[in-house]
């Protein structure tokens, strides 16, 4: 029997329960959710008796081999993940903030204890991109990663275009529909995208890169309906794109709204969907597309990671370098720009 514990029974955590109940037997006939850590109680839930507010109960339970961290934040989430890894338990998470801030330490401690710290769900929701990037692109030097990594802003940009609504109006709609949070700043300002591109770029280039080291982060706050209409006249759309581009031996990382050419596959990415384009020197451009958020898609990615540790196909992470000073640069001489008819200049994505 494989016993797991879920830390945080919110949107993603309860999704993990749902996905495991539906399909867990596919990869592990006797997988068992032994504990659920939450300060709340869930009296009507089938697993009500497994809910505890005491993390030590989980930590000291030698039968628990996998801890699922779906709490969010970088406080208790970090502390509990670290303790679980030190106790020789695998940790699987969807928490991009914790991966961004503490990934270096947590992966190192995991490797020291012969276990895994996995975070497929932290970028691109249900889209498998981290495992393929770690394992399938070994034959490539990654020249570029470019992604629509934030579903909220993509939903807003899509519907500004289709409904002719201004940014602030669409933000309100997105909040009402649950796509945007009460404080939408991290999404709108590009910070969420910055965290995700820093995780992907770090994996691709064998370093730990914090989003705080990204020199250029611009959100969608200044994108107007007129801009979107003028872009549309050229068959283009405006999308918030996070990019990590290899320039010689350095890496240019940026987040900014781009005018996306009609010929690019990213042009077709609408609604709250995400897409990640990875270009290697051998494989060329490969793109991954799917639901970037949501309870079940994100939980499906978490469960994919659980399956990878249970079946033994995931290995402790290969060591990465610290990110040396000067490796990340703002300038990219090959950046292309386009000026709209109203005189506004945008980055151009082909």
Binding of residue 317 to its own copies (CB under 8 A): no
**Pick 113 or 267: Cβ nearer its own copies:** 267
Residue selected from 43, 312, 319, 326 as contacting its own copies according to rule CB under 8 A:
312
Binding mask 246-285 for its own copies (x = CB under 8 A): -------------------x-xx-----------xxxxxx
Binding of residue 111 to its own copies (CB under 8 A): no
Angle at 317 between CA 151 and CA 296, to 5 degrees: 30
- The residue count for the chain: 350
Active site residue 134: no
Cα separation, 145 vs 243, whole angstroms: 6
Binding of residue 327 to its own copies (CB under 8 A): no
Alpha helices in 136-286 (DSSP H): 151-163, 167-176, 185-188, 191-204, 225-233
Binding of residue 147 to its own copies (CB under 8 A): no
Classify residue 224 by its DSSP letter: -
Cβ-Cβ contacts under 8 Å for 210 (sequence gap 6 or more): 100, 101, 198, 323
Binding of residue 132 to its own copies (CB under 8 A): yes
**Pick 73 or 284: Cβ nearer its own copies:** 284
Residue selected from 314, 323, 328, 340 as contacting its own copies according to rule CB under 8 A:
314
Cα separation, 92 vs 97, whole angstroms: 14
- Give the burial class of 248: count Cβ atoms within 10 A of its Cβ; 0-12 exposed, 13-18 middle, 19 or more buried: exposed
Q: Are 290 and 124 in contact (CB under 8 A)?
A: yes
- Report, in Å, the least distance between residue 164 CB and its own copies: 19
Q: Which residue spans within the chain are E strands per DSSP?
A: 2-7, 31-37, 51-52, 64-69, 90-93, 117-118, 142-148, 207-208, 216-217, 237-247, 250-260, 273-280, 284-291, 321-322, 328-329, 337-339, 345-349
**Pick 82 or 307: Cβ nearer its own copies:** 307
- Report, in Å, the least distance between residue 295 CB and its own copies: 9
Residue selected from 61, 140, 169, 218 as contacting its own copies according to rule CB under 8 A:
140
Stretch that binds its own copies, among 59-67, 243-251, 286-294, 321-329 (CB under 8 A): 286-294
List the catalytic residue out of 34, 96, 196, 243. 196
The answer to whether the Cα torsion of 207, 126, 21, 46 is positive or negative is: positive
Q: How big is the site for its own copies, counted in residues (CB under 8 A)? A: 55
- Report, in Å, the least distance between residue 279 CB and its own copies: 10
Q: Which of 276, 257, 280 is nearest to 199 (CA)?
A: 276
**Pick 109 or 127: Cβ nearer its own copies:** 127
Tokens of 135: 């394992």
Chain residues in the site for its own copies (CB under 8 A): 15, 18-20, 22-24, 26-27, 120, 126-128, 131-132, 135-141, 265, 267-268, 280-291, 294, 296-297, 299-304, 306-308, 311-315, 318
Q: Which residues are catalytic?
A: 196
């Amino acid at each position: 029997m494989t016993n797991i514990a879920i830390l945080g029974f919110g949107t993603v955590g309860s999704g993990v329960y749902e996905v495991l109940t539906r399909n867990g037997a596919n990869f592990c006939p006797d997988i068992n959710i032994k504990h659920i850590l939450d300060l709340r109680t869930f009296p009507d839930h089938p697993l009500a008796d497994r809910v505890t507010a005491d993390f030590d109960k989980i930590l000291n339970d030698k039968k628990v081999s996998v801890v699922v961290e779906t709490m969010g934040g970088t406080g208790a989430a970090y502390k509990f993940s670290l303790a679980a890894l030190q106790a020789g338990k695998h940790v699987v998470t969807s928490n991009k903030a914790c991966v961004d801030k503490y990934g270096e330490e947590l992966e190192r401690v995991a490797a020291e204890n012969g276990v895994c710290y996995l975070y497929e769900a932290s970028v691109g929701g249900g889209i498998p991109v981290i495992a393929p990037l770690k394992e399938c692109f070994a034959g490539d030097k990654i020249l570029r990663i470019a992604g629509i990594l934030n579903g909220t802003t993509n939903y807003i940009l899509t519907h500004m275009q289709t409904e002719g609504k201004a940014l602030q109006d669409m933000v309100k709609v997105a909040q009402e529909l649950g796509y945007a949070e009460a404080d939408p700043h991290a999404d709108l300002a590009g910070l969420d995208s910055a965290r995700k591109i820093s995780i992907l770029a770090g994996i691709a280039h064998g370093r730990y890169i914090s989003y705080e080291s990204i020199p250029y982060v611009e959100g969608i706050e200044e994108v107007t309906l007129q801009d979107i209409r003028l872009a549309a006249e050229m068959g283009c759309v405006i999308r918030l794109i996070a990019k990590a581009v290899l320039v010689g031996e350095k890496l240019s990382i940026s987040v900014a709204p781009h005018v996306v050419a009609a010929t690019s596959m990213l042009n077709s990415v609408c609604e709250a969907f995400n897409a990640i384009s990875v270009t290697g020197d051998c494989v060329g451009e490969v793109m991954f597309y799917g639901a970037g958020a949501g309870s079940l898609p994100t939980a499906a990615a978490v469960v994919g990671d659980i399956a990878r540790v249970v079946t033994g196909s995931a290995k402790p992470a290969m060591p990465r370098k610290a990110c040396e000073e000067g490796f990340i640069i703002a300038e990219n001489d090959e950046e292309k720009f386009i000026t709209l008819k109203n005189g506004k200049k945008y980055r151009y994505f082909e």
